[in-house]
Amino acid sequence: MTTLTPDVRAAMIAAAEQQLVASPDGDIATRAVCEAVGVTQPVLYRLFGDKNGLLDALADDGLRRYAEHKAAQPTTDDPVADLVAGWDDHIDFGRRNPALYQLMFAPRPRSHAQARRKIMDLLEAALLRCAAVGALRVTPNAAAQLILPANVGLVLSCIAQPELFDDPNLSSRTRDAIFAAVLTSPAELAAEDPVAAAALRLRSQLAVTGADALEPAELALLDRWLERLSWPGSPATPGSVA
């Protein structure tokens, strides 16, 4: 009887990825995965539940590697430049890993993979840095909800029909159009509404650095006040800072 160790699980995920990359239709055969690792199919069922669970595990493993890659990227003193580099890096990841990227981001029935949620978190963290220097005109959450679907949709379109989306400047033009809707300069933001601009910037900065001078309850109350000031006239914000 095969012992269900992390090594066996990792080997099955690796075998599934090899099949996925080689498959012309982006599918895998569970029997072939088991044969490649030298285990029986009940082992797959015990580890992953079913084929869909194995695909979810492979998608999340791709996310893990992508997140490790992102964490290793150097940040600069210019969060906007880092955001631009992040978009370009995301595009490059999809081009280098088309089969895995489609598994991670294309909708699948009964999928429980966490790739999109976790990459959204990474993006919001990058946008929070932009907000902290007064370069964001909306909350990080609102900006992320524009940027990520555009980024993912562009990559999936280019993977699925490269002959249709063959403009070499398509990524940069899409990026610039989306970023123009959410980014601004501190001066422009302050000119539109100086109080809201200051509140959004301070709230974002506190989310990045914290404030040792305040107790947790005081910090929470301040955050709520700044949240209200960031969106004057509205009883609730359209998105959170973090």
* pLDDT of the residue at 74: 85
Provide the pLDDT for residue 193: 75
**Distance (Å, whole) CA 158 – CA 150:** 12
pLDDT in tens, 176-208: 999 999 998 776 765 677 787 788 878 888 888
Indicate left, alpha or beta for 177 from its phi (over 0: left) and psi (-120 to 50: alpha). Answer: alpha
Burial class (CB in 10 A: 0-12, 13-18, 19+), 26: middle
What is the per-residue pLDDT for 238? 41
- What is the maximum span of the chain, computed from C-alpha positions, in angstroms? 70
Look at residue 202 in the predicted model and tell me its pLDDT: 84
Report the pLDDT value the prediction gives residue 242, as an integer from 0 to 100.
45
pLDDT below 70 — which residues of the chain?
1-2, 187, 189-191, 231-242
According to the model, what pLDDT value does residue 228 have?
A: 81
Residue with tokens 């609730």: 236
Q: Specify the pLDDT at position 114.
A: 79
Query: Under a CB-based contact definition with an 8 Å cutoff, are residues 154 and 101 in contact?
Result: no
- What is 1-49's CATH number? 1.10.10
Q: What are phi and psi of 74, to 5 degrees?
A: -70, 145
Q: What is the DSSP letter of 45?
A: H
Give the per-residue pLDDT at 16: 97
Q: Where along the chain do the CATH 1.10.10 domains lie?
A: 1-49
**C-alpha span between 57 and 100 (Å, rounded):** 12
CA pseudo-torsion sign 201, 204, 205, 210 = positive
